[in-house]
Amino acid sequence: MLHNLTKLEILILQNCRIDVLDGSLTKDLKSLIEITLILEPSVTIFSSFVENLIQLKFLYVWRLNVLCSCSNAWIVPWSKNSEEVIVQAFNPPMEELKCSATNGTNHLDFAHYTEEVCYFEKEFVLFVSTSLSVITFVLAVLVQRFAGSYLTPLYHIVHGWLWEALGQDGKRHYRYDAFVSYSGKDEGWVVEQLLPNLERRGPLFLRLCLHSRDFPVGQDIVENITDSLYSSRWTLCLVSRSYLRSAWCSLELQLATCRLQVEQRDVLILVFLEKVPSRLLSAHHRLARLLKTRTYLAWPEDAEQHTAFWDKIWDKLKPETGDQA
């Protein structure tokens, strides 16, 4: 009924039994200057009702009875603070406005009701949402700052746990038979002893992963370590004094032990290249715990025992016939 009345200047709504007033009623009343509302039933008036009335100068309200709803909360402060529109309410005046609840209970002070219920809820929700946003941002910065390099390893640890929990640990296809974790200062031993006695011994031929040879160039180091470790059937840790002083070797050992705990199967071999004083081992709690529960190998000083040493590692690492690519 009110659509297309673009030149209407005065409107009186009396006993229309309209229980909701919103912007859909006034979208075309661009020229309306004065409006009078005489409303008997309880009504909900949305703020959009007056937003379209760009020429409105006078609003008169008689026997206004609003519902106790936060949708009506804007009425009292708007009527007091509006500079463009003169608002006059009669029987009752705006400062004595009551409201009716859906359960039939009336609130004698609508302004107090809105301050207690509506504005508190909005402020509280705003406070909580802002606080959570700030906390989330701070935590994200802290995680990125102090644990960013461990996110990829954490992903693989969780992935391995889910794989194990869902019972999908059947036949896996590995790129390598063993990931070799060693200090760069022990690379001479790896080249002169490890590679000739394991990788070049065959058939069957072992596939070893060495960080100096097999890590893709340009890829993140932690991601390289994690991908290579989880792409290998075994992790072979070559422990020495240099190994214990290396932060990267410590990370590799940590990831290997996490994988050991997640998969609950034998995937880790410890080899001591030299005698390490107990005072050095005591500082590496993870390795010290492993030595209490796992058998490890030590590189023999007697050259006559080298063959037996390599045979033990070979028997442990050699792939099954069906796994050989």
Please give the torsion angle defined by the CA atoms of residues 28, 31, 33 and 35, in that order, rounded to the nearest 10 degrees.
-20
Range list of β-strands (E), the chain: 10-14, 20-21, 34-38, 44-45, 58-62, 66-67, 86-90, 99-100, 106-107, 176-181, 208-209, 232-239, 268-272, 297-298
pLDDT tens string, the chain, 325 residues long: the values are: 888 999 999 999 888 778 888 999 899 999 999 999 887 677 888 889 898 899 999 999 888 878 888 888 888 888 888 889 998 888 878 778 888 876 666 677 787 777 777 765 556 677 788 888 999 999 888 877 776 656 666 676 676 666 555 655 556 678 899 999 999 999 999 999 999 998 887 677 889 999 989 898 888 888 888 888 888 999 999 999 999 999 899 888 888 888 887 777 788 999 999 998 888 887 777 788 888 878 889 999 899 999 999 999 988 888 765 554 4
H or E segment at 72? none
Q: What's the whole-model pTM score?
A: 0.52
**Token digits of residue 314:** 């070979």
Instruction: Report the alpha-carbon distance of residue 44 to residue 309 in Å, rounded.
Output: 87
How many alpha carbons fall within 13 Å on the CB side of residue 52?
19
What is the DSSP pairing of strand 58-62 with strand 86-90?
parallel
Instruction: Report the alpha-carbon distance of residue 276 to residue 215 in Å, rounded.
Output: 29
Contact 71, 46 (CB under 8 A): yes
Helical residues (DSSP H) of 148-302, grouped into ranges: 151-165, 187-189, 211-214, 221-230, 241-245, 247-263, 278-281, 285-293
Instruction: Report the alpha-carbon distance of residue 33 to residue 4 in Å, rounded.
Output: 16
Query: Looking at residue 263, what is its pLDDT?
Result: 76
Phi, psi of 209 (to 5 degrees): -110, 115
Query: Looking at residue 325, what is its pLDDT?
Result: 44
Phi, psi of 156 (to 5 degrees): -70, -35
Query: Looking at residue 134, what is its pLDDT?
Result: 92
Contact 43, 65 (CB under 8 A): yes
H or E segment at 100? strand 99-100
Instruction: Report the alpha-carbon distance of residue 110 to residue 197 in Å, rounded.
Output: 89
